[in-house]
Amino acid sequence: MKVLMFGWEFPPHISGGLGTACYGLTKALLKCGVELIFVVPKAYGDEKPGTIRLVNASDVAVNVQDEIFKEYIDNISFVEVDSTLVPYADDEQYYHIMESIEKGVTFEKGVVSSQKFSFSGGYGKNLMEEVRRYAMLALEIARQHDFDLIHAHDWLTYMAGKEAKRISGKPLIVHMHATEFDRSGENINTLVFDIEKAGMEAADVVIAVSNMTRNTVIQRHGIDPDKVITVHNGVEPSEKEMETEIPRYLDEKIVTFLGRITYQKGPEYFIEAAYKVLQRDQNVRFVMAGSGDMLPKMIRRVAKLGIANKFHFTGFLKGDDVDKMFGLSDVYVMPSVSEPFGISPLEAMRSNVPVIISKQSGVAEVLQHAIKVDFWDIDAMADAIYALTHYEGLPAIFKKHGKEEVDNIKWDQAGIKVKEIYKKVLS
């Protein structure tokens, strides 16, 4: 069985959970004997795909005069990126985008004329243009390779999946890792929503990462329930144990938030809960690890509350730095407003860190040994943080049973389920 898979990120070049999830699933599928051709907009040359065949879309040449591109090019249009796409940007990109919008700059429409297209591989101001060009190149990639079915991850690749299906006639599976409602609340970008809806309507099967996400695509996007299947994410086993304990130069307990600093992740609730905890005990430090459009606002809020001496902003962390941060942490908090799944709590539990998660998260469906609170309930969140940092028996229980629990939430299980979906689609 050979699968043509479209993604947007591949380690070590990832900006969040999407790249991590795709990598975990691909490794699990390889163990199941599935052959993969994994396509990314831009490969950097330092990826280690193993036996996965990694295709760099930036290296693919197309003859735009070819008849198969005619229909696509005739309908192509490039749209200015507006502020509702900002959740993808880091804080530096955010400033540039906002500055351009304030000056009334309109990004020029792309001209499809060259045979190769250069991709940034990120989430910058030309994101929508890259999404559309990626879809056009998918036509040529699908024409060049032999495969049995197509698997497209998240809305960024849905158009690519649709075009690959159009030219090949092969079945299409789309994987919904996060909906536009998760990213933007009710103030959605309608263009992104339309791409999500069209991709899921064109698909033979939609894989949702949680029952919460499944309900969203059925109720909000109007997708046929019979073709929406939940496959929960897993967590990568730790490739190496910490050789030595990370030195701590302070006696305070450390409470960590790690994720994009955007509306979806609920960083403001973490800060308000931190303030309440510090009213009761000054022997606690809080860390916000990540970047995003809300970072400047969060820094200002911490300063206004007068807790800057107990609050640290690290910027975006990845790889070993994430492991080190968990190694320093006494509690991990994920206060997401809407989290389709949420891999980071599993990574924290794998590192023996007790976790507090919002009830509005997909991972809450599979975890028993985690404290669950409503994202908006900062009093309950503060109480949970205080309890885990003051009553020794409580974190000991969560560490022991949490580690045992997370060791059984593996990508291998997800790989087996996805392969069964493949077999059913091809039967």
Model confidence pLDDT, tens digit, residues 154-175: 999 999 999 999 999 999 999 9
Residue 247 lies in a domain: no
Lowest mean pLDDT across 243-247, 250-254, 394-398: 243-247
Give the percent of the chain with pLDDT over 70.
Answer: 83
**Domain span at 196:** 2-234+411-426
Alpha carbon distance 124, 130 (integer Å): 10
Alpha carbon distance 333, 274 (integer Å): 11
CB atoms under 10 Å from CB of 207, counted, come to: 24
Place of tokens 């299947």: 229
Residue 117 lies in a domain: yes
Residue 79 lies in a domain: yes
Assess whether pLDDT exceeds 70 at residue 40.
Answer: yes
Residue 368 lies in a domain: yes
Residues 223 and 273 in one domain: no
Q: What is the pLDDT of residues 213-237, one digit of tens each?
A: 999 999 999 999 999 999 999 987 7
Assess whether pLDDT exceeds 90 at residue 246.
Answer: no
Alpha carbon distance 131, 162 (integer Å): 12
Distances (CA, A) of 107 to 9, 81, 100, 189: 24, 8, 9, 17
Place of tokens 């107990």: 310
Residues 170 and 279 in one domain: no
Residues 92 and 230 in one domain: yes
Residues 217 and 296 in one domain: no
Residues forming a β-bridge with 152: 6, 174
Residues 44 and 186 in one domain: yes
Assess whether pLDDT exceeds 50 at residue 82.
Answer: no
How many domains does the chain fold into?
2
**pLDDT-derived band at 101, boundaries 50, 70, 90:** very low
Residue 245 lies in a domain: no
Q: Exposed e or buried b for every residue in 330-359, given b needs 16+ CB within 10 A?
A: bbbbbbbbbbbbbbbbbbbbbbbbbbbbbe
Predicted TM-score (pTM) of the model is: 0.82
Assess whether pLDDT exceeds 70 at residue 244.
Answer: no
Residues 392 and 416 in one domain: no
The pLDDT of 273-302, averaged and rounded, is: 96
The pLDDT of 340-364, averaged and rounded, is: 93
Residues 72 and 150 in one domain: yes
The pLDDT of 281-292, averaged and rounded, is: 94
Q: What is the pLDDT of residue 112?
A: 42
Residue 241 lies in a domain: no
Residues forming a β-bridge with 372: 357
Assess whether pLDDT exceeds 50 at residue 89.
Answer: no
Residue 41 lies in a domain: yes
Residues 342 and 419 in one domain: no
Q: What is the pLDDT of residues 192-207, one digit of tens each?
A: 999 999 999 999 999 9
Amino acid at 124: G
ω into residue 354 within 30 of 0, thus cis?
no
Q: What is the pLDDT of residues 297-325, one digit of tens each?
A: 999 999 999 999 999 999 988 878 988 99
CB 349 within 8 A of CB 405: yes
Chain-centroid distance, C-alpha 25: 13
**Where does residue 145 rank: exposed (0-12), middle (13-18), buried (19+ CB within 10 A)?**
middle
State both tokens at 96: 């540039």
**pLDDT-derived band at 69, boundaries 50, 70, 90:** low
Residues 173 and 314 in one domain: no
Residues 384 and 266 in one domain: yes
User: Tell me, what CATH number does 319's domain have?
Assistant: 3.40.50.2000
Q: What is the CA radius of gyration of the chain?
A: 22
